[in-house]
Structure 1
Amino acid sequence: MDSLFHFVAPVCDYLRNLVIHEQLETSSVKTYAQYIQLFWNYLEGEGANYAEVTDKQLLTWLNQQRNRDNKIYVATARCDAIFDMYCWLEVNGYVKDIVRIPGHNDGQNFEPLLSSKRARPGKFRPSRFGVVSGVRPRANDANSVQPTPTNEDLTKLYIAADNPKNPSLTDRNHLLIDWYGQTGVRRIEAQNLTVDQIPEWSVIDDLRRDGYICELRIVKTKGGRPRHIGVLPSLLERTREWIEGPRADIVERFRRKISTYKEPKEIFISAKTGAALTLTTMSNLFAAFFGKAKVEGHGHRIRAHYLTNLLHSEIDAATALLISNGGTFKDIDWELIIRKVAERAGHRNVDSIRDYVTILKKRYQRLSGHDDLVTIDQMLKAKKQELALVEHRISKGKTELEALTKLGAKTDSSTR
C-alpha cells in the first residue's frame, strides 16, 4: 500500500505468492511486507519509479538503515527481502531488465539496473533464484547466530522492565520475560497463552513436591502445529499469582468502568485497555526493555537464551550418562541432541539448531546422580535468575532507604 493508501498490485501478488505457493509462515511474510513498505516509502520520498530502481537507490536506502542504528544483519535481511521481490517481479513480467537471473534472462543482452552475484552456499541465505544483490552488505554476522542474551543481560532486562509507578506492570513484565526465557515460547505463543491453561494450586504443589515439570500443550504456534513446552512449577506458581492478583484487579477495574467489558481469556493483558496484549504491543515492550537496558537484540533473542540453556542441559545429561557407562564426551550423539532440542523448541528445520551446537561444542562439567538432569539444570538456572532479581530489589530498596534516611536527617536539622 502506498502513501495514498492504494494497493500496489505487483507487490500484493508477490506477497500472496509467498503465502500460497512458497508456503512461508504468515509472520515471516508480514516482516517482508514491513521491509518493502519502508523501501516503498523511501522511493516515494525520492520521487522514484519502482520499475526503474537502481543499485544507487538501494544502497542509499540501506545506508539510511545503518544510520538509524540498525545492525548489519538487519540491513542485510532487508536487502535480501527487497532483492528477492525484484527477482520475482522480473521473472513474472512485472518489471523488465531490472535483474539478471540465471535460467531466465541471463542469455539476453542488457545492462541490469540492479546488479547481482551468485549466492554461495554457507555464505548467503538460501536464494530461490540463485543470486543475491550485488550491493548486499558484506556482513560477517549476517548469517551467524545473533547475540544471545547472557544471565547478566537478563538481569538488566528485568531492571529495565521495572515500573516503579505500577508494581502490577512490573510483575507482568517480569513474568513475560520468564515465559520467553524459561520455556522458549515465541511471541505469538506467549500472546495466546490462556488462563485456563495454567494448573490449579494443588497440581502446581504436586509438581513442585515431585520435582517434575508441566508439559503444557500450546495450539497457537508459528507453524500452526500444536506442540508441548516444559514449564517449571515456580513459573506456574508466579503465573497463578499474577492471574489471581494484579490481573484480577485490572479485570475488576474495567468491569466497574465499562458495563460491556468482557474478560480476555489470555494471560497477558494491558493495564490501560484491559484487553489482551497485541503482538505489536509485545514487540514494543521488549524493544523498550532492550533499549533501556542497553542490551543488543530483541525479544525473540530471549528464546535463544532458552535454547542455549536447553542445549547445555541436554549435553550435560548425555555426558553424565556416557561417563556412567564407560563412555567419554567424544561419544556424544550430537544429531540426537539436535533433534531433541529442535522438537522441544518447535523447530521444523533442525539446521537452525546446528549454529548453537557449533558454539557449544566444548568440554562440559560432569553431572550425575539424577534421573532427569535436564529438569534439575533448568530449575537451577531459573533459581539463579530469581536470586539475581531478588538481589536487585534488595539493592534498590537499600538505596531508597538511604535516601529517605538522609532526607529525614535534613528535615530534623532544619527544624531544630
Structure 2
Amino acid sequence: MIFYKTTDEDCILQGAFSKSSYSGIPVFFDSNGVVEGVSNYLIFKAIKDTDEITSVTTYAYQLQTFLRFIDEKGKGLSWQSVTDGHLVEFRDTKIKSGNKDSYVAGVLRTVFDFFLWAERNKVIRHHVAIYNDDREYAISAEKTKTSWKWPHIPSSTSKAKPTPTNDDLEILHVTTIEESDVVGTRDSLIFTIYERSARRMEALQIKVSDVPDWEDIEAYQAENKVFYVEVKGKRKIDRDLEFLPETMELLREYIESERADAVNAAKKRNKFYKEPDDLFLAATTGKPLNKQYISRRLSGLMKKAGVSGTGHRVRAKGLTDIVAAFDGFDDRGQPKSAQDVLIRAAEKAGHSNPQSLRHYLALSRSEGLAAKMNNIELLRDLGIKVQTRKKQLADIDKANDLFEAILNDLNVEGELLKFLEQYLGKQKVSEVKS
C-alpha cells in the first residue's frame, strides 16, 4: 500500500549550509518505508519551486492516485519501471470509469513532471525521451516552447478560471467595507494589495514601519512619485511592491483607526500583549493574520459580493495591470514586442517564467488597459475613501437626536441611553463578524 503523510513543524531539512524547519510537506511511504524519489520531488516543489503548500498537497494526491493504480495493476511494480503503456492504461481506465478528461489530464501532467524532474536530476537515467537521439525510451516526451510534455495527455476542456473585472472589484470593495465596521477597511486594503500582484505571504510581510507618515505621503503626492515596499517572493527572491501615495494614505488611515482599535482591545484583554510591527492584525486578538485566515476571509467576501473566483484571482487582475503597464507602442508607433513586455512584466511581478504571463498580456490587450491602469487605481482608492467616509457620516447621523436633545435640554438622558444602546449593539455585531 502506497500512502503519504505530511510533516509537522518538527521536521528539519538539512541544506548545504543550514537547517530549516518545514511543515506540511507530503512524504510517501510503502511497505519498505519512505519512497525517497517521490518524497524528494515534493520537497523540491515545496521549497524550490512554489510557495503554495496547498499546491504541493494536490501534487501528492495526484501522484498517490497514479502510484496506487500501478501498484495494484502491476503487482507491486515500482515507479522506476513505469512506461508509456502504464500511463496509457491509467488514462484509458480512468476516463472509461467516468472521470473527466480535465481531471485525468491534470494527474498525468503532474506524473510526467515528476518523471521529468527525476530524469533531469539523475534519479533515473535514460528513462524519459528528452535526448536528441534515436534510442527508445520508456516514457515519451515532446518538446514545447519552454519545457517538455507527455504527448498522449487527453485534451482538457476545462475553462480558464475567471479574472475579476474592474466593475467586479468596485462591487467587491464596497461589499467588503460595508460587511464589518471593525475589519472592513483592513480587508479592503488586503484586496488592494492583491491587486498590486502581491501573493498572500507577500501581503503579510508588510510592516507598519513600511508605511510612510503623512508628511512623506504629501511630498510624494506633490512630486507624483510612487512608494516601494520590498518583500521576499517565491524562491525567497526579493521583489518590490509598488504603491501610489493615495494607497499609502489609506494604509496610514487604517493604522490610526481600525488597527489602533485592535491593538487597544488586545491590551485591555491581555496586559502582557506586545504590539507587533505586522501591518494586518486580527481585531479580537491583535495578532498578525495568517495565510489560511485571509484566504477563507477573502473568498467569503468575494462570494458575498457575487464575484467569481478567489483572492488569488484578484491577484491575477493585478498581474494583468502590471503587464498592461509595460505594454503599448514603441517610438515608431508599432506595438511593443510581446516577448519584451513579458520579460519586463515577469521581473516586476516576481515570476521566473515570462511565458506564464502570456494569458494576462492577451487579456490586457483585449481590454485596452495599458492607458487606463493608473487612473483605475486612483479611482479605486478614491472610491474606498468615499465609502469609508459614508460609513462615518452614517454614524454621525445616528447621533443627531442626541445632539438636538443636548442643544434644547430636552430628554437628554433618554436620548443618551438610546444612542448608547444602538452603539453597544453595533459593537457586539461587529465583534461577531470579525
| TM-score by shorter chain over 0.5 | yes
Matched, 1:138 2:118: no
Letter of the 2:206 partner, please give it.
Answer: L
What does residue 358 of structure 2 align with?
A: 354
Residues 312, 288 of structure 1: CA spacing in aligned structure 2 closer, same or farther, 3 A cutoff?
Answer: same
Give the equivalent residue in structure 2 for 1:205: 218
Within 2, Cα distance between the matches of 1:49 and 1:160?
52
What is the TM-score when the length of structure 2 is the normalising length? 0.64
TM-score by length of 1: 0.67
CA–CA distance in structure 2, aligned partners of residues 254 and 60 of structure 1: 57
Instruction: In structure 2, give the amino acid aligned to 1:155.
Output: E
* Structure 1 residue 258, shift from structure 2 partner: 1.9
Higher radius of gyration, 1 or 2: 2
Instruction: For 1:352 and 1:263, locate their aligned partners in 2 and report how far apart those are by CA, in whole Å.
Output: 39
Residues 56, 339 of structure 1: CA spacing in aligned structure 2 closer, same or farther, 3 A cutoff?
closer
Larger mean Cα displacement after TM superposition, 261-270 or 47-56: 47-56
CA distance in 2, matches of 1:345, 1:210: 25
Among 258, 261, 286, the alignment partner of 1:274 is 286
Post-superposition CA distance 1:70-106 (Å, at most 9, x none): xx978854553356457879999x9xxxxx9548996
Secondary structure of 1:179 counterpart: helix
Instruction: Report the CA distance between 1:173 and its aligned residue.
Output: 0.7
- Per-residue Cα deviation, 1:141-165 (whole angstroms, up to 9, x for no partner): 46xxx4321101212322443454x
Aligned: 1:80 with 2:102: no
Render the CA deviation track for 1:161-197: whole Å, top value 9, x for unaligned: 3454x3121111101001111x221111001111111
Residue 270 of structure 2 is aligned to residue 255 of structure 1? no
Does the residue aligned with 1:229 lie in a helix, a strand or coil?
strand
The answer as to 2:28 corresponding to 1:8 is yes
Query: CA, structure 1 residues 363+278, in 2 after alignment: closer, same or farther (shift >3 Å)?
Result: closer
Secondary structure at 1:8 match in 2: strand
**Counterpart of 2:57 in structure 1: which amino acid?**
A
1:294 positional shift: 3.4
> Which residue of the other structure, out of 277, 290, 297, is the alignment partner of 1:265?
277
Aligned residue pairs total: 352
Q: Is the 8 A contact 2:321 2:369 kept in 1?
A: no
Give CA deviations for 1:205-240 in whole Å, capped at 9, x if unaligned.
Answer: 11112111112222x211212122221111111111
The CA RMSD measured in Å over matched residues stands at 4.7
Task: Tell whether the 8 Å contact from 2:250 to 2:385 is kept in structure 1 after alignment.
Answer: no
Identity of aligned residues (%): 22
Query: CA 1:16 to 1:263, structure 2 compared with 1: closer, same or farther past 3 Å?
Result: farther
3-state SS of 1:384 partner: helix
Write the letter of the residue equivalent to 2:375. Answer: L
CA contact (8 A) 2:62 2:110 kept: no
Matches within 5 A, 1:311-322: 311-316=323-328, 318=329, 322=331
Q: How far apart are the structure 1 equivalents of 2:185 and 2:370?
A: 36
1:170 to 170, 184, 204: 184
Q: Is 1:287 the equivalent of 2:305?
A: no
Paired residues for 1:183-262 under 5 Å:
183-218=196-231, 220-262=232-274
Give the secondary structure class of the aligned counterpart of 1:161: helix
Whichever residue aligns with residue 341 of structure 1, its letter is: A
What is the CA–CA distance in structure 1 between the aligned matches of 2:117 and 2:97, rounded to whole Å? 20
Matched residue, 2:399: none
User: In the TM superposition, what are the counterparts of 1:51-200 in structure 2 within 5 Å?
Assistant: 54-55=90-91, 58-59=94-95, 63=99, 76-77=105-106, 80-82=109-111, 84-85=113-114, 102=129, 119=142, 121=144, 126-127=147-148, 130-131=149-150, 134=153, 136=154, 138-139=156-157, 141=159, 146-162=161-177, 164=179, 166-181=180-195, 183-200=196-213
Q: Give the whole-Å Cα distance in 1 for the aligned partners of 2:112 and 2:190.
A: 36
Q: Decide which of 377, 380, 389 is 1:382's aligned counterpart.
A: 377
Aligned to 2:49: 25
Which SS does the other structure have where 2:157 is aligned? Answer: coil
Check the 8 A contact 2:163/2:317 in 1, yes or no: yes
In the alignment, what sits opposite 1:370?
none
Distance 1:257 1:352, change over 3 A: same
